[in-house]
Chains A and B, each alone.
Chain A
Protein backbone atom coordinates (compact mmCIF):
# COMPACT_ATOMS: atom_id res chain seq x y z
CA UNK A 1 0.00 0.00 0.00
CA UNK A 2 1.40 3.41 -0.90
CA UNK A 3 1.52 6.11 1.71
CA UNK A 4 -0.89 8.23 -0.27
CA UNK A 5 -3.61 5.63 -0.64
CA UNK A 6 -6.77 7.58 0.18
CA UNK A 7 -8.88 4.57 1.13
CA UNK A 8 -10.88 5.67 4.18
CA UNK A 9 -11.60 2.11 5.18
CA UNK A 10 -8.04 0.98 5.53
CA UNK A 11 -6.72 0.97 9.04
CA UNK A 12 -3.32 1.69 7.62
CA UNK A 13 -4.34 4.70 5.73
CA UNK A 14 -4.28 7.66 5.10
CA UNK A 15 -2.06 7.81 8.12
CA UNK A 16 0.43 5.10 7.43
CA UNK A 17 3.69 5.38 9.21
CA UNK A 18 6.77 5.66 7.10
CA UNK A 19 7.43 2.01 7.72
CA UNK A 20 5.27 -0.07 5.53
CA UNK A 21 2.44 -1.89 7.27
CA UNK A 22 2.60 -0.16 10.65
CA UNK A 23 0.17 2.39 12.06
CA UNK A 24 1.32 5.40 14.02
CA UNK A 25 -1.09 6.44 16.78
CA UNK A 26 -1.06 9.49 19.00
CA UNK A 27 -0.93 8.73 22.71
CA UNK A 28 -4.26 9.78 24.29
CA UNK A 29 -2.88 9.79 27.83
CA UNK A 30 -1.19 12.54 29.82
CA UNK A 31 2.17 10.82 29.22
CA UNK A 32 3.00 11.70 32.81
CA UNK A 33 5.01 9.26 34.89
CA UNK A 34 3.99 8.66 38.49
CA UNK A 35 6.66 9.43 41.03
CA UNK A 36 7.46 6.49 43.26
CA UNK A 37 8.00 7.52 46.85
CA UNK A 38 9.46 5.48 49.65
CA UNK A 39 7.07 4.95 52.55
CA UNK A 40 8.07 6.58 55.82
CA UNK A 41 9.59 4.03 58.15
CA UNK A 42 7.19 2.48 60.65
CA UNK A 43 7.34 4.03 64.11
CA UNK A 44 8.60 1.51 66.68
CA UNK A 45 6.30 2.95 69.33
CA UNK A 46 3.46 5.42 69.69
CA UNK A 47 5.02 6.88 72.80
CA UNK A 48 5.46 10.64 72.52
CA UNK A 49 4.17 10.80 68.94
CA UNK A 50 1.59 13.23 67.63
CA UNK A 51 -1.08 11.41 65.63
CA UNK A 52 -3.51 13.30 63.43
CA UNK A 53 -7.04 11.93 63.05
CA UNK A 54 -8.66 13.14 59.85
CA UNK A 55 -12.43 13.02 59.59
CA UNK A 56 -13.54 13.13 55.94
CA UNK A 57 -16.94 14.39 57.08
CA UNK A 58 -19.08 11.35 56.46
CA UNK A 59 -21.73 10.29 58.95
CA UNK A 60 -20.38 8.46 62.01
CA UNK A 61 -16.73 9.16 61.19
CA UNK A 62 -16.60 10.83 64.60
CA UNK A 63 -17.74 7.62 66.32
CA UNK A 64 -14.82 5.73 64.83
CA UNK A 65 -12.29 8.51 65.49
CA UNK A 66 -13.44 9.10 69.08
CA UNK A 67 -12.70 5.46 69.82
CA UNK A 68 -9.32 5.63 68.11
CA UNK A 69 -8.43 8.77 70.06
CA UNK A 70 -9.23 6.98 73.31
CA UNK A 71 -7.09 3.99 72.36
CA UNK A 72 -4.17 6.10 71.15
CA UNK A 73 -4.28 8.18 74.33
CA UNK A 74 -3.84 5.00 76.38
CA UNK A 75 -0.70 4.25 74.38
CA UNK A 76 1.02 7.55 75.06
CA UNK A 77 0.28 9.39 71.82
CA UNK A 78 -0.90 12.98 71.53
CA UNK A 79 -3.90 13.20 69.25
CA UNK A 80 -4.86 16.14 67.06
CA UNK A 81 -8.20 16.15 65.27
CA UNK A 82 -8.73 17.45 61.73
CA UNK A 83 -11.70 17.42 59.38
CA UNK A 84 -12.12 17.90 55.66
CA UNK A 85 -14.76 20.53 54.80
CA UNK A 86 -16.57 17.94 52.67
CA UNK A 87 -16.04 14.27 51.83
CA UNK A 88 -16.71 14.98 48.16
CA UNK A 89 -13.49 16.89 47.50
CA UNK A 90 -9.81 16.28 48.13
CA UNK A 91 -8.46 17.75 51.37
CA UNK A 92 -7.44 21.39 50.80
CA UNK A 93 -3.70 22.04 50.47
CA UNK A 94 -3.65 24.13 53.67
CA UNK A 95 -5.16 21.29 55.67
CA UNK A 96 -2.68 18.78 54.27
CA UNK A 97 0.16 21.16 55.11
CA UNK A 98 -1.17 21.65 58.63
CA UNK A 99 -1.32 17.90 59.21
CA UNK A 100 2.12 17.30 57.68
CA UNK A 101 3.79 19.94 59.84
CA UNK A 102 2.06 19.09 63.12
CA UNK A 103 1.82 15.30 63.08
CA UNK A 104 4.13 12.30 62.97
CA UNK A 105 1.40 10.17 61.42
CA UNK A 106 -2.20 10.54 60.31
CA UNK A 107 -5.17 8.20 60.32
CA UNK A 108 -8.03 8.99 57.95
CA UNK A 109 -11.52 7.78 58.72
CA UNK A 110 -14.00 6.82 56.07
CA UNK A 111 -17.33 6.01 57.59
CA UNK A 112 -21.06 5.76 57.14
Chain B
Protein backbone atom coordinates (compact mmCIF):
# COMPACT_ATOMS: atom_id res chain seq x y z
CA UNK B 1 0.00 0.00 0.00
CA UNK B 2 1.05 3.53 -0.56
CA UNK B 3 -0.05 6.90 0.75
CA UNK B 4 -0.49 8.12 -2.82
CA UNK B 5 -4.26 8.81 -3.04
CA UNK B 6 -4.29 7.95 -6.72
CA UNK B 7 -2.78 4.56 -5.99
CA UNK B 8 -5.42 3.82 -3.35
CA UNK B 9 -8.22 4.73 -5.75
CA UNK B 10 -6.77 2.50 -8.42
CA UNK B 11 -6.47 -0.41 -6.02
CA UNK B 12 -9.99 0.12 -4.73
CA UNK B 13 -11.33 0.15 -8.24
CA UNK B 14 -9.57 -3.11 -8.93
CA UNK B 15 -10.65 -4.91 -5.76
CA UNK B 16 -13.77 -3.14 -4.36
CA UNK B 17 -15.15 -2.15 -7.72
CA UNK B 18 -16.11 -5.67 -8.48
CA UNK B 19 -18.47 -5.65 -5.50
CA UNK B 20 -20.62 -2.97 -7.07
CA UNK B 21 -23.78 -4.36 -8.53
CA UNK B 22 -24.50 -1.77 -11.23
CA UNK B 23 -24.14 -2.75 -14.85
CA UNK B 24 -20.90 -1.55 -16.42
CA UNK B 25 -21.13 0.65 -19.47
CA UNK B 26 -17.93 0.91 -21.42
CA UNK B 27 -17.30 4.14 -23.27
CA UNK B 28 -14.88 3.78 -26.14
CA UNK B 29 -11.66 5.67 -26.52
CA UNK B 30 -12.99 7.72 -29.43
CA UNK B 31 -16.20 8.67 -27.60
CA UNK B 32 -16.61 11.80 -25.52
CA UNK B 33 -17.93 10.48 -22.22
CA UNK B 34 -20.03 13.60 -21.55
CA UNK B 35 -21.71 13.22 -24.94
CA UNK B 36 -22.13 9.48 -24.35
CA UNK B 37 -24.08 10.19 -21.18
CA UNK B 38 -26.29 12.76 -22.91
CA UNK B 39 -26.94 10.23 -25.66
CA UNK B 40 -28.04 7.61 -23.16
CA UNK B 41 -30.61 9.99 -21.64
CA UNK B 42 -28.91 10.03 -18.23
CA UNK B 43 -28.83 13.79 -17.75
CA UNK B 44 -31.22 16.57 -16.86
CA UNK B 45 -29.97 18.76 -19.70
CA UNK B 46 -26.75 19.82 -18.00
CA UNK B 47 -23.51 17.86 -18.26
CA UNK B 48 -22.88 15.24 -15.60
CA UNK B 49 -19.72 13.86 -14.00
CA UNK B 50 -18.84 10.40 -15.30
CA UNK B 51 -19.77 7.80 -12.64
CA UNK B 52 -16.63 5.70 -12.72
CA UNK B 53 -16.00 2.91 -10.25
CA UNK B 54 -13.44 4.95 -8.31
CA UNK B 55 -15.70 7.98 -8.03
CA UNK B 56 -18.64 5.87 -6.89
CA UNK B 57 -16.41 4.07 -4.36
CA UNK B 58 -15.34 7.44 -2.98
CA UNK B 59 -18.97 8.61 -2.88
CA UNK B 60 -19.93 5.53 -0.89
CA UNK B 61 -17.35 6.55 1.73
CA UNK B 62 -19.78 9.36 2.59
CA UNK B 63 -22.19 6.99 4.31
CA UNK B 64 -21.94 4.11 6.75
CA UNK B 65 -24.82 2.41 4.97
CA UNK B 66 -24.18 -0.68 2.93
CA UNK B 67 -24.20 -0.14 -0.87
CA UNK B 68 -26.87 -2.79 -1.22
CA UNK B 69 -29.31 -1.24 1.26
CA UNK B 70 -32.60 -0.28 -0.33
CA UNK B 71 -33.25 3.42 0.27
CA UNK B 72 -36.67 3.79 -1.31
CA UNK B 73 -39.10 2.64 -3.95
CA UNK B 74 -38.63 5.42 -6.48
CA UNK B 75 -41.64 6.57 -8.49
CA UNK B 76 -43.01 6.56 -11.06
CA UNK B 77 -41.79 3.02 -11.77
CA UNK B 78 -41.59 2.20 -8.01
CA UNK B 79 -38.20 0.61 -8.46
CA UNK B 80 -36.11 -0.47 -5.48
CA UNK B 81 -33.22 1.96 -5.27
CA UNK B 82 -30.03 1.00 -3.44
CA UNK B 83 -27.48 3.22 -1.74
CA UNK B 84 -25.14 2.36 -4.62
CA UNK B 85 -27.56 3.67 -7.27
CA UNK B 86 -28.00 6.86 -5.28
CA UNK B 87 -24.20 7.18 -5.09
CA UNK B 88 -23.89 6.74 -8.87
CA UNK B 89 -26.39 9.53 -9.47
CA UNK B 90 -24.81 11.70 -6.74
CA UNK B 91 -21.46 11.43 -8.55
CA UNK B 92 -23.17 12.49 -11.77
CA UNK B 93 -24.84 15.46 -10.05
CA UNK B 94 -21.46 16.67 -8.80
CA UNK B 95 -21.87 15.86 -5.09
CA UNK B 96 -19.03 15.40 -2.67
CA UNK B 97 -19.19 12.23 -0.53
CA UNK B 98 -20.14 14.17 2.59
CA UNK B 99 -23.36 15.29 0.89
CA UNK B 100 -24.55 11.71 0.37
CA UNK B 101 -26.37 11.32 3.73
CA UNK B 102 -28.45 14.40 2.88
CA UNK B 103 -29.27 13.00 -0.55
CA UNK B 104 -30.29 9.66 0.98
CA UNK B 105 -32.54 11.32 3.59
CA UNK B 106 -34.07 13.67 1.02
CA UNK B 107 -34.85 10.76 -1.29
CA UNK B 108 -36.38 8.85 1.63
CA UNK B 109 -38.59 11.86 2.39
CA UNK B 110 -40.04 12.26 -1.10
CA UNK B 111 -40.53 8.56 -1.87
CA UNK B 112 -43.39 8.24 0.59
CA UNK B 113 -47.14 8.14 0.22
CA UNK B 114 -47.39 11.37 2.23
CA UNK B 115 -45.03 13.39 0.00
CA UNK B 116 -46.36 11.67 -3.14
CA UNK B 117 -43.42 12.17 -5.48
CA UNK B 118 -45.35 10.37 -8.23
CA UNK B 119 -47.98 13.09 -8.30
CA UNK B 120 -45.45 15.89 -7.81
CA UNK B 121 -43.60 14.62 -10.86
CA UNK B 122 -46.58 13.86 -13.06
CA UNK B 123 -48.71 16.94 -12.44
CA UNK B 124 -49.10 19.53 -15.15
CA UNK B 125 -48.40 22.17 -12.48
CA UNK B 126 -44.79 23.36 -12.43
CA UNK B 127 -43.77 22.14 -9.00
CA UNK B 128 -40.92 20.07 -7.65
CA UNK B 129 -39.42 18.95 -4.36
CA UNK B 130 -37.93 21.84 -2.39
CA UNK B 131 -35.48 20.77 0.32
CA UNK B 132 -34.60 22.72 3.46
CA UNK B 133 -31.71 21.42 5.55
CA UNK B 134 -31.45 22.11 9.28
CA UNK B 135 -28.85 21.13 11.86
CA UNK B 136 -25.07 21.17 12.18
CA UNK B 137 -24.58 19.17 8.99
CA UNK B 138 -25.54 22.17 6.87
CA UNK B 139 -22.50 24.16 7.95
CA UNK B 140 -20.28 21.10 8.13
CA UNK B 141 -20.76 20.27 4.46
CA UNK B 142 -20.68 23.90 3.38
CA UNK B 143 -24.30 24.54 2.49
CA UNK B 144 -25.40 28.09 1.82
CA UNK B 145 -28.01 29.80 3.99
CA UNK B 146 -26.90 33.34 3.17
CA UNK B 147 -26.23 35.49 0.10
CA UNK B 148 -27.88 34.00 -3.00
CA UNK B 149 -29.36 31.20 -0.90
CA UNK B 150 -31.96 30.30 -3.54
CA UNK B 151 -29.61 31.00 -6.40
CA UNK B 152 -26.30 29.86 -7.74
CA UNK B 153 -22.78 29.50 -6.50
CA UNK B 154 -22.93 26.82 -3.84
CA UNK B 155 -21.99 23.28 -4.76
CA UNK B 156 -23.79 21.53 -1.88
CA UNK B 157 -27.11 23.32 -2.35
CA UNK B 158 -27.17 22.78 -6.08
CA UNK B 159 -25.87 19.24 -6.34
CA UNK B 160 -27.88 17.70 -3.48
CA UNK B 161 -31.18 18.75 -5.03
CA UNK B 162 -29.93 17.73 -8.45
CA UNK B 163 -28.81 14.29 -7.26
CA UNK B 164 -32.27 13.52 -5.89
CA UNK B 165 -33.89 14.58 -9.16
CA UNK B 166 -31.41 12.50 -11.18
CA UNK B 167 -32.42 9.44 -9.12
CA UNK B 168 -36.07 10.12 -9.90
CA UNK B 169 -35.19 10.49 -13.56
CA UNK B 170 -32.76 7.60 -13.96
CA UNK B 171 -33.95 5.04 -11.42
CA UNK B 172 -37.65 5.93 -11.24
CA UNK B 173 -37.95 6.73 -14.94
CA UNK B 174 -39.51 10.15 -14.34
CA UNK B 175 -38.53 11.96 -17.51
CA UNK B 176 -40.08 15.17 -18.85
CA UNK B 177 -42.45 14.57 -21.72
CA UNK B 178 -43.10 11.03 -20.50
CA UNK B 179 -44.62 10.64 -17.02
CA UNK B 180 -43.60 14.21 -16.19
CA UNK B 181 -46.27 16.27 -17.96
CA UNK B 182 -45.61 19.73 -16.49
CA UNK B 183 -47.05 22.53 -18.58
CA UNK B 184 -44.20 24.91 -17.80
CA UNK B 185 -42.07 23.05 -15.29
CA UNK B 186 -39.87 25.16 -13.05
CA UNK B 187 -36.31 25.51 -11.78
CA UNK B 188 -37.53 23.43 -8.82
CA UNK B 189 -37.51 20.46 -11.21
CA UNK B 190 -33.75 20.76 -11.64
CA UNK B 191 -32.53 21.43 -8.11
CA UNK B 192 -34.05 23.39 -5.25
CA UNK B 193 -32.24 22.84 -1.98
CA UNK B 194 -30.94 25.22 0.67
CA UNK B 195 -30.12 25.51 4.37
CA UNK B 196 -31.89 27.60 6.99
CA UNK B 197 -29.78 30.31 8.60
CA UNK B 198 -29.77 29.18 12.22
CA UNK B 199 -26.85 31.27 13.38
CA UNK B 200 -28.20 34.83 13.10
CA UNK B 201 -31.84 34.15 13.96
CA UNK B 202 -33.35 34.32 17.43
CA UNK B 203 -36.26 32.21 16.19
CA UNK B 204 -36.72 28.48 16.46
CA UNK B 205 -35.91 26.63 13.27
CA UNK B 206 -38.22 24.98 10.77
CA UNK B 207 -37.06 21.57 11.98
CA UNK B 208 -37.76 22.50 15.61
CA UNK B 209 -41.23 23.60 14.57
CA UNK B 210 -41.66 20.18 13.06
CA UNK B 211 -40.70 18.37 16.26
CA UNK B 212 -36.96 17.81 15.94
CA UNK B 213 -34.22 18.78 18.38
CA UNK B 214 -32.07 21.78 17.51
CA UNK B 215 -29.05 19.46 17.40
CA UNK B 216 -30.63 17.06 14.90
CA UNK B 217 -29.71 17.05 11.22
CA UNK B 218 -32.98 17.20 9.31
CA UNK B 219 -34.13 17.62 5.74
CA UNK B 220 -37.65 18.83 5.02
CA UNK B 221 -39.20 18.26 1.61
CA UNK B 222 -41.89 20.64 0.41
CA UNK B 223 -43.67 20.46 -2.91
CA UNK B 224 -43.20 23.93 -4.35
CA UNK B 225 -43.01 26.14 -7.39
CA UNK B 226 -40.17 28.56 -8.18
CA UNK B 227 -39.62 31.32 -5.60
CA UNK B 228 -40.96 34.81 -6.05
CA UNK B 229 -40.08 37.97 -4.22
CA UNK B 230 -42.09 40.03 -1.78
CA UNK B 231 -40.57 43.48 -1.62
CA UNK B 232 -41.09 45.72 1.38
CA UNK B 233 -38.47 48.42 1.84
CA UNK B 234 -40.58 50.88 3.80
CA UNK B 235 -42.04 49.04 6.77
CA UNK B 236 -40.28 50.08 9.92
CA UNK B 237 -42.57 48.25 12.33
CA UNK B 238 -43.38 44.62 12.79
CA UNK B 239 -47.06 45.35 12.42
CA UNK B 240 -46.63 47.02 9.03
CA UNK B 241 -44.32 44.34 7.69
CA UNK B 242 -46.49 41.42 8.77
CA UNK B 243 -49.44 42.99 6.95
CA UNK B 244 -47.26 43.50 3.89
CA UNK B 245 -46.06 39.89 3.85
CA UNK B 246 -49.63 38.67 4.30
CA UNK B 247 -50.64 40.81 1.35
CA UNK B 248 -48.00 39.10 -0.78
CA UNK B 249 -48.94 35.65 0.44
CA UNK B 250 -52.63 36.10 -0.27
CA UNK B 251 -52.09 35.75 -4.01
CA UNK B 252 -49.97 32.58 -3.67
CA UNK B 253 -50.80 30.26 -6.58
CA UNK B 254 -54.04 32.21 -7.05
CA UNK B 255 -55.88 34.59 -4.77
CA UNK B 256 -58.89 32.35 -5.46
CA UNK B 257 -57.32 29.38 -3.70
CA UNK B 258 -57.75 29.06 0.06
CA UNK B 259 -56.61 26.24 2.38
CA UNK B 260 -56.04 23.82 -0.50
CA UNK B 261 -52.41 24.70 -1.18
CA UNK B 262 -49.54 25.41 1.21
CA UNK B 263 -46.66 27.85 0.91
CA UNK B 264 -43.15 28.37 2.17
CA UNK B 265 -42.07 31.86 3.22
CA UNK B 266 -38.34 32.51 3.23
CA UNK B 267 -37.85 35.49 5.53
CA UNK B 268 -34.66 37.46 5.00
CA UNK B 269 -32.46 38.53 7.93
CA UNK B 270 -33.38 42.21 7.52
CA UNK B 271 -37.07 41.45 7.42
CA UNK B 272 -36.74 39.14 10.41
CA UNK B 273 -34.98 41.83 12.40
CA UNK B 274 -38.16 43.96 12.22
CA UNK B 275 -39.91 41.22 14.16
CA UNK B 276 -37.12 40.30 16.55
CA UNK B 277 -36.54 43.99 17.34
CA UNK B 278 -40.22 44.17 18.34
CA UNK B 279 -39.81 41.10 20.52
CA UNK B 280 -41.86 38.83 18.26
CA UNK B 281 -40.85 35.19 18.38
CA UNK B 282 -41.87 32.74 15.69
CA UNK B 283 -45.15 31.90 17.44
CA UNK B 284 -46.16 35.57 17.72
CA UNK B 285 -45.23 36.14 14.07
CA UNK B 286 -47.29 33.15 12.91
CA UNK B 287 -50.24 34.29 14.98
CA UNK B 288 -50.15 37.85 13.63
CA UNK B 289 -49.56 36.68 10.06
CA UNK B 290 -52.46 34.24 10.28
CA UNK B 291 -54.77 37.02 11.49
CA UNK B 292 -53.99 39.00 8.32
CA UNK B 293 -54.50 35.98 6.09
CA UNK B 294 -58.22 35.58 6.65
CA UNK B 295 -60.07 35.79 3.36
CA UNK B 296 -63.62 37.02 2.79
CA UNK B 297 -65.01 34.36 0.47
CA UNK B 298 -67.43 36.83 -1.12
CA UNK B 299 -64.42 38.20 -2.96
CA UNK B 300 -63.23 34.86 -4.33
CA UNK B 301 -66.34 32.84 -5.21
CA UNK B 302 -66.87 32.01 -8.83
CA UNK B 303 -67.99 35.07 -10.75
CA UNK B 304 -66.74 37.60 -8.18
CA UNK B 305 -64.90 40.39 -9.96
CA UNK B 306 -65.96 38.92 -13.30
CA UNK B 307 -63.68 35.89 -12.85
CA UNK B 308 -65.08 32.38 -13.21
CA UNK B 309 -62.27 30.69 -11.27
CA UNK B 310 -63.18 30.54 -7.60
CA UNK B 311 -64.96 28.76 -4.79
CA UNK B 312 -68.50 27.46 -5.34
CA UNK B 313 -71.14 30.14 -4.76
CA UNK B 314 -72.43 28.15 -1.79
CA UNK B 315 -69.24 29.13 0.05
CA UNK B 316 -69.98 32.86 -0.09
CA UNK B 317 -70.33 34.76 3.18
CA UNK B 318 -67.52 32.97 4.99
CA UNK B 319 -64.16 34.07 6.34
CA UNK B 320 -61.54 31.39 5.70
CA UNK B 321 -57.80 31.17 6.34
CA UNK B 322 -55.61 31.40 3.23
CA UNK B 323 -53.55 28.48 4.57
CA UNK B 324 -54.65 25.42 6.51
CA UNK B 325 -53.16 25.00 10.02
CA UNK B 326 -49.49 24.11 9.50
CA UNK B 327 -49.79 24.95 5.81
CA UNK B 328 -47.34 27.86 5.93
CA UNK B 329 -43.70 26.88 6.42
CA UNK B 330 -41.48 29.75 7.51
CA UNK B 331 -37.71 29.58 7.01
CA UNK B 332 -35.06 32.17 7.82
CA UNK B 333 -32.44 32.52 5.10
CA UNK B 334 -30.75 35.00 2.80
CA UNK B 335 -28.00 37.57 2.68
CA UNK B 336 -27.60 40.09 5.48
CA UNK B 337 -28.76 43.03 3.36
CA UNK B 338 -31.98 43.31 1.40
CA UNK B 339 -35.54 44.09 2.43
CA UNK B 340 -37.08 41.19 0.56
CA UNK B 341 -38.60 37.88 1.47
CA UNK B 342 -39.44 35.06 -0.92
CA UNK B 343 -42.55 32.97 -1.32
CA UNK B 344 -42.55 29.43 -2.65
CA UNK B 345 -46.11 28.49 -3.53
CA UNK B 346 -47.21 24.91 -2.99
CA UNK B 347 -49.39 22.33 -4.68
CA UNK B 348 -52.46 20.35 -3.64
CA UNK B 349 -51.85 19.70 0.05
CA UNK B 350 -52.47 16.95 2.58
CA UNK B 351 -53.66 13.42 1.86
CA UNK B 352 -55.19 14.62 -1.42
CA UNK B 353 -51.79 15.78 -2.71
CA UNK B 354 -48.45 16.29 -0.99
CA UNK B 355 -47.65 16.67 2.69
CA UNK B 356 -44.43 18.45 3.75
CA UNK B 357 -42.19 15.63 4.96
CA UNK B 358 -39.15 15.77 7.24
CA UNK B 359 -36.52 13.11 7.76
CA UNK B 360 -33.56 12.96 10.12
CA UNK B 361 -30.25 12.79 8.28
CA UNK B 362 -28.17 9.90 9.56
CA UNK B 363 -24.60 8.94 8.63
Contacts and interface: CB of A to CB of B under 8 A. Distances in A.
A27 B20 CA distance: 11
B259 to A, nearest CB: 16
Contact of A23 (B50, B79, B81): B50
Interface in A1-24: 3-8, 11, 13-15, 17, 19-24
Contact of B7 (A4, A19, A21, A86): A4
Contacts of A19: 26
A22 B29 contact: yes
Nearest to A112: B124
A36 interface: no
What band does the interface of chain B fall in when counting residues whose beta carbon is under 8 Å from A? 35 or more
Interface string B1-44: 00011110110010000001011111111000100110000100
B245 interface: no
A24 B26 contact: yes
A4 to B, nearest CB: 4
Contacts of B50: 11, 23, 25
A44 interface: no
Given A6-B10, A23-B50, A88-B116, A31 B55 contact: no
A88 B351 CA distance: 10
A23 to B, nearest CB: 5
Contacts of B55: 15
Contacts of A85: 352
Contacts of A4: 6-7, 10
Interface in A38-87: 85-86
7 contacts: A21-B28, A21-B29, A26-B88, A27-B24, A28-B22, A30-B171, A88-B354
Interface of A: 3-8, 11, 13-15, 17, 19-32, 85-86, 88-90
Given A22-B28, A24-B27, A28-B170, 18 more contacts: A4-B10, A14-B52, A15-B13, A23-B26, A24-B24, A25-B36, A25-B52, A26-B25, A26-B88, A27-B22, A27-B25, A28-B42, A30-B171, A32-B77, A86-B352, A88-B119, A88-B354, A89-B118
